[in-house]
Amino acid sequence: MTSKSKKAASGIIEMVIMIGLVIAITAIVWGVVNGIIGTQVKSTESCFGNFGKVSFNKQYTCANSAAGEVQFSLALGDLKIDGILVSLSGVSASKSFKIDNSTTFSYIKMYGGSYGGALSLPEKNSGLTYVVDLSGLGVSDATSIKVSPIISGNQCEVSDSINELGSC
């Protein structure tokens, strides 16, 4: 073999090695990016298309300033949820709490129940009403309320809110 053909053969080998390295690096980067994106997509898929399916029944959502309570009624559409995150806000503070089946709070009760009793979530296509003792929650002047569903372990965006609670 002449030195000219040896140089040509080594150039071809170098090119094949470079192409192999580029393909390997591309595969590694693709695997990492795909894993990150796949995880993010799966976590948001559970919330997609569910906006507004957890809402307040405004007729039964109000503040009773004389009793220091807020009553809110949740309506659930055709949706299976793990829990509901409720946020009450006023000038004094903003506090959130999570309601799921069998949760208990000393300051929240089912309508007609007693404080400290087990809470439950509404079933599909139904609703339930809850009462919150504002002094126990630590928001003495609640004026607004928001609700976010928790679906497949993921907290979704705010599904409904009331910015000015009416009087009971």
Q: H or E element: which one contains 160?
A: strand 160-162
Give residue 79's pLDDT. Answer: 85
| DSSP string of 50-70, one letter each residue | -TTSEEE-GGG-EEETTTTEE
* Per-residue pLDDT at 45: 60
Q: Can you give the pLDDT of all 168 residues of the chain as single tens digits?
A: 555 555 666 778 888 899 999 999 999 999 888 888 766 666 566 677 777 789 999 999 999 989 999 999 999 998 889 999 999 999 989 999 999 998 899 999 999 999 999 999 999 999 999 999 999 999 988 999 999 999 888 888 899 999 999 998
Beta carbons of 135 and 72 less than 8 angstroms apart: no
Task: Region of 98 please: left (phi>0), alpha (psi -120 to 50) or beta.
Answer: beta
- pLDDT single digits (tens) 74-105: 999 988 899 999 999 999 899 999 999 988 99
pTM for this prediction = 0.72
pLDDT in tens, 14-26: 888 999 999 999 9
Return the CATH superfamily for domain 54-162.
Immunoglobulins (2.60.40.10)
Give the Cα separation of 47 and 59 in Å (integer). 26
pLDDT value of position 41: 60
